[in-house]
Each structure stands twice: as C-alpha cells, then as structure tokens.
Amino acid sequence: MRLGVLVSGSGTNLQAILDAVATGALDASVAVVISNVSTAAGLTRASNAGVATEVVNHREYASREAFDTRLVERLRHHQVDTVVLAGFMRIVTRVLLEAFPRRVVNIHPALLPSFAGVHAQRQALNYGVRVAGCTVHLVDEGTDTGPILAQAVVPVLDDDDEESLGARILVQEHALLPKVLQWMAEGRVRVEERLGRRPRVFVTG
C-alpha cells in the first residue's frame, strides 16, 4: 500500500505512521507527504524520514476543485493508492474522492457522529460528556460524515481542559490510525453500500 499523507500542521499522526512503517507494524510505504502550508512541521518530519515532500498552496487556486485537481495530479505522480488526511485543514471535494474511491482516510478527535468539525475537544467539554475519544473514518463529501472504521474512547476527567483532553486523545489517535491502515493493507476492510442508508463497514479476521 502506497500512502499519500496530507498535512497542514505539526504532523504527529504522520509521525505515528512513519514510526509504524519503520518498525514493520504497518505494511505500507509513505510515497509522499503534501502540505498546503509551506511551514508545516509535518514536512520536516517527512524529510527526516527520507520521504518525498511537496507544497501545494491552496491560496493559489481559484476553487477547492482546482486545488484538489492539483493534489490528485501530484498524488498520482507518486503512485499513491491510499490518501490519509493527518491534520489536513481543508475540506476535500468530489475531485479527490472520485480519484481514490473509498481510499481516503481521516482521523478526527471525537467520537463521531458527535462533535464533527473544528475544536472537537472544546465541543465535548462544553457539552459536558463523560467520555470522548477519536474516530478513524473514510472520507465523503460531508464534514466528518464518512463511514466509521474504528474508534477509541478516552474518559473526560473533572479537571480536564481543552489542552489536557486533547493530549490524551492524541495518544489514542497515534495508536489507532496505523492500526486501521494495517487493516486496509491486509485487505480486511469491506464497505457495504446500502440503498437509502449510510454505508456500513466490516473488518474481517
């Protein structure tokens, strides 16, 4: 499995992927890391691991579709077959999704369908939930609405703030994302399309 990882920031989930590949826990290669932000620390992480990097600045494109068209061109150039959004702060369009059908994966710091979108940890704290967590899901055209692949639960402590809760969720993200990608590498993930209903995901083995 050849991964194309899209990042906008620090790239800690990218690092988890790189570490899993290095130890053999993930039977895949990271073919390229692309960022829409030239200063993203994730690019440095990739370079340090000997992975190709590219910058595609979304501000240089007139539309989301034009931006995604360029992303697809660069991903295909590197022979990517699976795309991972690892802290990529852009909503992707049908252009990217149709180029990699059911092969675009996202990690979100909440137990979807609750608290989609930005500031998920803040949303959870404001709502007063007792458990939070993270979700790995396939991406569709909605905001964090795609079929759920796996989730991990994190308790909300009485003295939690957004930073402390986010840090504990991040630990689970780093474990969960490579694990799910390995399921995909092993061909264990099956998506069942259901007429008039949301797709359902099965993990075999």
pLDDT tens readout for residues 47-64: 999 999 999 999 999 999
pLDDT grade for 191, boundaries at 50, 70 and 90: very high
Integer Cα distance of 139 and 147 in angstroms: 7
Do residue 1 and residue 83 come from a single domain?
yes
**What are the tens digits of pLDDT across the range 133-180?**
999 999 999 999 999 999 999 999 999 999 999 999 999 999 999 999
Question: Cα–Cα distance between 46 and 14 in angstroms, integer?
Answer: 8
Q: How many angstroms separate the CA atoms of 104 and 76, rounded?
A: 14
Is 78 annotated as catalytic?
Answer: no
Q: Do 167 and 74 belong together in one domain?
A: no
**Which among 58, 77, 78, 108 is annotated as catalytic?**
108
Domain that holds residue 152: 106-205
In this structure, of 101-110, 161-170, 192-201, the range with the lowest mean pLDDT score is: 192-201
* pLDDT score for 198: 86
pLDDT bin (cut points 50, 70, 90) of residue 184 is: very high
**Number of domains into which the chain is organized:** 2
Residue 126 Ramachandran class (φ > 0 left, ψ -120 to 50 alpha, else beta):
alpha
Residue finishing a domain among 101, 122, 147:
101
* pLDDT in the model for residue 193: 87
pTM of the model: 0.96
What is the pLDDT, as a whole number, of residue 196? Answer: 87
Give residue 15's pLDDT.
98
Binned at pLDDT 50, 70 and 90, residue 205 comes out as confident
Sign (positive/negative) of CA torsion 83, 196, 134, 22? negative
CB contact at 8 A, 109 and 121: yes
Q: What Rg, from alpha-carbon coordinates, does the chain have?
A: 16
Q: Tell me, yes or no, whether 198 and 130 share the same domain.
A: yes
Q: Could you give the residue ranges of the DSSP H alpha helices within 78-161?
A: 94-99, 120-127
Q: Using the 3D structure, point to which of 56, 78, 101 is the last residue of a domain.
A: 101
Q: Residues 125, 82: one domain?
A: no
Q: Which of 48, 71, 101 is the last residue of a domain?
A: 101
